[in-house]
Chains A and B, each alone.
Chain A
Amino acid sequence: MRSILGVTAFLLAVFVAVPWLIAVSGRWDFYYTLTSVALLSIASAGVWLTFYIGRINIGQGAYALAGGYVSAVLITKAGFGFWLTLPLAGLFCAGLSVLIGLPILRLRGVYFAMVTLVLTEVMRLTALALPVTNGAKGITSIPLPGELSVFGLVLIPDFASLENPKLAFYLMAVTLMVLCYGALYRIVHSRLGHLCRSLQQNEELAASIGVNTAWLRILAYSISSFFGGIAGASFVAISQSVYPSSFQVADSVNFMLNCFLGGLGFVFGPMLGTLVLYFGWDLLFTTGRYQLLIYSSLLIVLMLVLPNGVLSLLDRKGVRR
């Protein structure tokens, strides 16, 4: 009962309260900021899932970049509509992650972390080198998402015809976020989630009682990469362009930090972490040259006070996760 109330309150907040607050306050720029938060938190959710099987993933930027390119190439070269490329980008990344994951998921601890860190750079260099990505020149002037209709029934209008595409992008991003976190929540509270947790605690033990650890790792990693691909493709739709530097090592690191900041023990940790980290930077914009100094100091202080993430506040008060 409580959780239904919570979900309802959350949905009301993001779909009704936020647009209303923005309309009242006139802070239209928050649409983009919150859209970014929603999309980045989807990618972070993927990273969180790899944390859940005990792997530190600093390579989500690679899949976001790949997803972005898949969408951009399909739209500009094959004439696909954006809405079709969105799931395709996710699936492509999931498939790619199986190929990459098969060898590297055998690594653990810092080795996995560092190999994924290199992966982001590899993806950037691949994007620079491949002909289909248009190399250094990137892909620009990508059209806005078009109409999506089923049997003549218009589900999503053409973004180019809208008066306020910002709102449309916001709603799209938030919807995606809700879906992804819903899926994540389901996964974590299913049998699969319990198995993942057993991996996090002791892989050998899990294997010895008959858990197919290799399969489980690949599955979790590909779901994670699927999220990354979707987030990347959505960003490309907003900026209408993609470059090899659209997602970089810094992004990969940020995705990981989002998870830490929110709290690794909580499904909604990465969402909160993204909100705090991204929004925090944005808000400090008025402090000018001291922006980075204040931002990093706050980060350190936060870490000193709450080393287990912001949501660990809930722990103390005995609220279940």
Chain B
Amino acid sequence: MNRRTVIRSAALATVIGLSAASFASAENPVLKIGFVGVTSGPAAAWGISNQRSMETRAAWINETGGVRIGDTTYDVEIVAFDDQKDPKRAIAGMEKMAQEGIHYVVGPNVDDGAAAVRPVAEQQGIIYFPYAFPKSLYQAPASNAVLGMVANYQSGPAIYKYLMENNGVKKVAFVAANESDPLSQRDGGIEAAQALGLEVVSGSVTYQVDTTDFTPVILPVIQARPDLLVLSGVSPANAPQLIRSARELGYEGLISTETAQDAGVLQEGAGELANGFISVGGASTPELASDMMREFVARYTTMFGEYNDESNTKVYALEYILETLKANPAAIGDVEAFKTTMDSFEAPNPYMVGDAKLSYVGATSFGQKRQVSVPLVVNEFRDGAFQTLFVAQVD
């Protein structure tokens, strides 16, 4: 008994000693921005593209002398925590962020994690930017979460409407993985499709994320003969396989999703079968990308060997945090000031050509401005690259 206590206290003491060791100081004061998300295991792709976008941008900023907020120039440091897609770990991650004195965190990547960190974030004064869609996260009384992308219930209707008008789509089918996020997105999608007057011919087929052969999954869906097949909340790993199975079974209609995908993955996994696949992306298609976006892609590629198109949407959160802080330097240690600024904040969108703006939106969906305005760029996959189908805005 005694020995165990000794071991335990010794371990604890070591731990505290280790973690108290201070970091090497840079020339500029350091502004820490957190990331809590999944960077290992099955869903690693989501968090890794996220974390790497942030690290690329931070390195870029620091290389060019740092970011000037108020009267001080800061170097940006990204503190990342891998929550392994476990909500219990996500809480621990948020606590770590609070411990590091961080007030702005990007993530978590999934619904359960985003809901689980809410108590900690509100108590510790942390604004976080989840990539999860449940409305309750952003509606009052919740106030510390800011949706980091376009939600499926916003992009879905826009896509369906476009396809109804331009391609004469009448019948639609939905397939989703049997996990919280995709199922919620499927339900939202069905609701939106019915509201638009579309006929939902199949909406109950689900699959395990670890499926290795999607033919049996897709077969009953194809037999319902839809004009449009929606892959709700599909992960980039499953998308090419689903597309391939559907096409090989002779499906000739349209296929779409409301999540971001990677062109390289689609090309490798489905090749020309993926032509015409519709997904939502950021602003890296040639028609829309600014020079800054192109440089971001180049820097990301140099730093990590290979770009990930999912980062097109994930580049924004950090930019929003920094730009909002620039607009109101007092917010650097005070999230209430940040919230006040959110209502009126506006800055040019550096990643897009033209006069697009960065601003906070979401009044329609959430009753308060708790969403970053990312251009809703709907892409079509064609021969290994994305082409812009149309662009819309969320309010």
A and B: direct contact (Cβ < 8 Å)? Answer: yes
Among residues of B, the one whose C-beta sits closest to the C-beta of A28 is: B99
B2 touches A241 (CB 8 A): no
A141 on the interface (CB 8 Å rule)? yes
Given A28-B99, A319-B3, A285 contacting B81 (CB threshold 8 A): yes
For residue B210, give the distance in angstroms from its CB to the closest CB of chain A. 10
Indicate with 1 or 0, residue by residue over B11-53, a CB within 8 angstroms of chain A CB atoms.
1110110111000000000000000000111000000000000
Q: Tell me the residues in window 80-101 of chain B with beta carbons closer than 8 Å to chain A beta carbons.
A: 80-82, 84-88, 91-92, 95-96, 98-99
A240 on the interface (CB 8 Å rule)? yes
How many A residues, CB 8 Å from partner? 57
Docked complex Cα distance between A144 and B134 (Å): 21
Given A138-B115, A140-B115, A125 contacting B95 (CB threshold 8 A): no
B95 touches A28 (CB 8 A): yes
From B180-188, B213-221, B263-271, give the one contacting chain A: B180-188
Q: Tell me the residues in window 282-321 of chain A with beta carbons closer than 8 Å to chain B beta carbons.
A: 282-283, 285-286, 288-289, 291-292, 311, 314, 319
Among residues of B, the one whose C-beta sits closest to the C-beta of A236 is: B116
Picked from B13, B81, B85, B180, the residue with its CB within 8 Å of the CB of A136 is: B180
Picked from B12, B39, B180, the residue with its CB within 8 Å of the CB of A289 is: B39
A136 touches B9 (CB 8 A): no
Given A3-B1, A241-B116, A27 contacting B82 (CB threshold 8 A): no
Q: List the A side residues contacting B183 at CB < 8 Å.
A: 128, 135-136
Picked from B1, B9, B16, B80, the residue with its CB within 8 Å of the CB of A25 is: B16
Picked from A5, A13, A125, A136, the residue with its CB within 8 Å of the CB of B8 is: A13
B180 touches A272 (CB 8 A): no
A245 touches B91 (CB 8 A): no
B123 on the interface (CB 8 Å rule)? yes
Given A36-B92, A245-B179, A10 contacting B87 (CB threshold 8 A): no
Q: Tell me the residues in window 8-55 of chain A with beta carbons closer than 8 Å to chain B beta carbons.
A: 9-10, 13, 17-18, 21, 25, 27-33, 36
Given A18-B12, A136-B183, A244-B180, A9 contacting B5 (CB threshold 8 A): yes
B118 on the interface (CB 8 Å rule)? yes
Q: List the A side residues contacting B180 at CB < 8 Å.
A: 128, 136-138, 243-245
B96 touches A25 (CB 8 A): no
Contact count band on B: 35 or more
Picked from B2, B3, B13, B116, the residue with its CB within 8 Å of the CB of A239 is: B116
Q: List the B side residues contacting A244 at CB < 8 Å.
A: 179-180
B112 touches A27 (CB 8 A): no
Picked from B40, B84, B116, B123, the residue with its CB within 8 Å of the CB of A165 is: B123
Docked complex Cα distance between A240 and B120 (Å): 10
For residue A290, give the distance in angstroms from its CB to the closest CB of chain B. 11
Q: List the A side residues contacting B5 at CB < 8 Å.
A: 6, 9-10, 13
B168 on the interface (CB 8 Å rule)? no
Q: List the A side residues contacting B92 at CB < 8 Å.
A: 29, 32-33, 36, 282
Picked from A6, A25, A238, the residue with its CB within 8 Å of the CB of B119 is: A238
Q: List the A side residues contacting B110 at CB < 8 Å.
A: 245
Q: List the B side residues contacting A251 at CB < 8 Å.
A: 86
Q: List the B side residues contacting A144 at CB < 8 Å.
A: 119
Given A9-B5, A165-B123, A239 contacting B179 (CB threshold 8 A): no
Among residues of A, the one whose C-beta sits closest to the C-beta of B206 is: A128
Given A128-B183, A136-B187, A279 contacting B111 (CB threshold 8 A): no
A9 touches B1 (CB 8 A): yes
In this complex, the member of B11, B95, B96, B184 whose beta carbon has the largest number of chain A beta carbons within 10 angstroms is: B95
Given A125-B178, A136-B187, A141-B136, A5 contacting B112 (CB threshold 8 A): no
A214 on the interface (CB 8 Å rule)? no
Given A13-B8, A137-B134, A245-B87, A6 contacting B2 (CB threshold 8 A): yes
A92 on the interface (CB 8 Å rule)? no
Q: List the B side residues contacting A5 at CB < 8 Å.
A: 1-2
B115 touches A250 (CB 8 A): no
Docked complex Cα distance between A6 and B3 (Å): 9
B18 touches A235 (CB 8 A): no
B8 touches A275 (CB 8 A): yes
A77 on the interface (CB 8 Å rule)? no
Docked complex Cα distance between A27 and B4 (Å): 22
A29 touches B112 (CB 8 A): no
Given A13-B8, A140-B134, A283-B18, A239 contacting B91 (CB threshold 8 A): yes
Q: List the A side residues contacting B80 at CB < 8 Å.
A: 288
A213 on the interface (CB 8 Å rule)? no
Q: List the B side residues contacting A275 at CB < 8 Å.
A: 8, 11
Docked complex Cα distance between A25 and B13 (Å): 10
Q: List the A side residues contacting B7 at CB < 8 Å.
A: 272
Q: List the B side residues contacting A268 at CB < 8 Å.
A: 4
Docked complex Cα distance between A248 and B300 (Å): 34
Docked complex Cα distance between A291 and B40 (Å): 10
Docked complex Cα distance between A185 and B178 (Å): 41
A sample of 10 inter-chain contacts (CB < 8 A) reads: A2-B1, A5-B2, A13-B5, A13-B8, A21-B13, A29-B99, A30-B16, A136-B179, A239-B115, A246-B87
Interface residues of A (CB under 8 A from B): 2-3, 5-7, 9-10, 13, 17-18, 21, 25, 27-33, 36, 125, 128, 135-138, 140-141, 144, 165, 235, 238-241, 243-246, 248, 250-251, 268, 272, 275, 279, 282-283, 285-286, 288-289, 291-292, 311, 314, 319
Interface residues of B (CB under 8 A from A): 1-5, 7-9, 11-13, 15-16, 18-20, 39-41, 80-82, 84-88, 91-92, 95-96, 98-99, 110-112, 115-120, 123, 134, 136, 142, 178-181, 183-184, 187
Sample of 19 further A-B pairs with CB below 8 A, known A6-B2, A235-B88, A291-B40 = A9-B2, A13-B9, A21-B13, A27-B16, A27-B99, A36-B91, A128-B183, A136-B181, A136-B184, A165-B123, A241-B116, A243-B111, A248-B86, A250-B84, A283-B15, A285-B82, A288-B80, A289-B39, A319-B3
